[in-house]
Amino acid sequence: MPELPEVETVRRGLQPVMEGARIVKAEARRKDLRFPFQKDFVARLDGQTVTGLGRRAKYLLADLASGDVLLMHLGMSGSFRVINHEDKKTPGKFHHPRSEDRAHDHVVFHMSSGAAVVFNDPRRFGYMKIIARKALEEEPLLRGLGPEPLGSEFDAAMLARSCANRKTSLKAALLDQRVVAGLGNIYVCEALYRAHLSPLRLAATLATKAGQRKGVAGGEPTDHARRLVTAIHAVLNQAIKAGGSSLRDHRQTTGELGYFQHSFQVYDREGEKCQTAGCGGIVKRFTQNGRSTFWCPKCQK
């Protein structure tokens, strides 16, 4: 499933043709994706200007002039394709044939910018929902999400407080969207590796002993927490710059592949030598909480 960097890459690709443009016509070519479309889905979109295009965790959020917000999730295989009617060739060095399979073009936004924005989803695990802006904070899909890992409020102290009394592993805590929003398996593995922290380490070790006691606000973050936050920032920013990671389905809106998979230091490198200078360890893989975890047992403690 696309993680934060992939969704942010898509947002940046859609922004030039959607933000500030009017939805001349919206098409829902079937009654549902993962969930049924609202009965007034198309009616609430037609004629509306997109005043802003944002992201919350793994969700895209299009603000409409009406005061509604169009929430969009890519699911497992969803992707957006931008077709400019002045140049019908889909731009991008890497063309993905699945994007041109019209049978899976389920939603189309015809924009006043002259572009058509097509949502293609073969597996139909993606979904879209229109929510009133004033009701957004109470929306079940968004309520309870933790801080954005690239936001100003996410720092070592906040992460330590969130993990202070947790009895789960550090990796499980980072995958919990209530602790931090938008992280997934790939980038958690990469961040833990760069911070030299074991995925099996207890999450509570990110806080001082005082922070682990009940009734204490959280105490001071340990050096582990500071290293981890720095690694999370570095991995996400590098991945966004590379256009995300393309393993199966992710493509940018231009049709191009993401390139961050070529920069993996530990993910999907089972049996290879650890890239940490002077380590000499071998990358291992094991199943943790139903997900593959890649790590170096020698340098990740």
- Residues identified as active-site: 2-3, 58, 291
3-state secondary structure 9-64: HHHHHHHHHHCCCEEEEEEECCCECCCECCCCCCCCCCCCEEEEEEEECCEEEEEE
Where helices occur in the chain by DSSP H, the ranges are: 4-18, 156-163, 170-175, 185-194, 209-212, 223-241
For the chain, the domains span 4-138, 156-295
Q: Residue 129 pLDDT > 60, yes or no?
A: yes
The Cα 262–Cα 249 span in angstroms is 16
Average pLDDT for the chain: 87
CATH of 156-295, one of 1.10.8.50, 3.30.365.10, 3.30.1540.20, 3.20.20.10: 1.10.8.50
Closest by Cα among 135, 128, 89, 91 to 109:
128
pTM assigned to the model: 0.86
Q: Measure Cα distances from 13 to 7, 19, 35, 243, 255 in Å.
A: 10, 11, 25, 10, 10
- For the chain, give the percent of residues with pLDDT over 70: 83
Q: Residue 252 pLDDT > 80, yes or no?
A: no
pLDDT in the model for residue 215: 41
The Cα 248–Cα 253 span in angstroms is 15
Q: What is the pLDDT of residues 33-67, one digit of tens each?
A: 999 999 999 999 999 999 999 999 999 999 999 99
Q: Which residues contact 135 (CB under 8 A, 6 or more apart)?
A: none
Q: What is the CATH number of domain 4-138?
A: 3.20.190.10
Distance of CA 280 to the CA centre of its chain: 32
Q: Residue 108 pLDDT > 70, yes or no?
A: yes
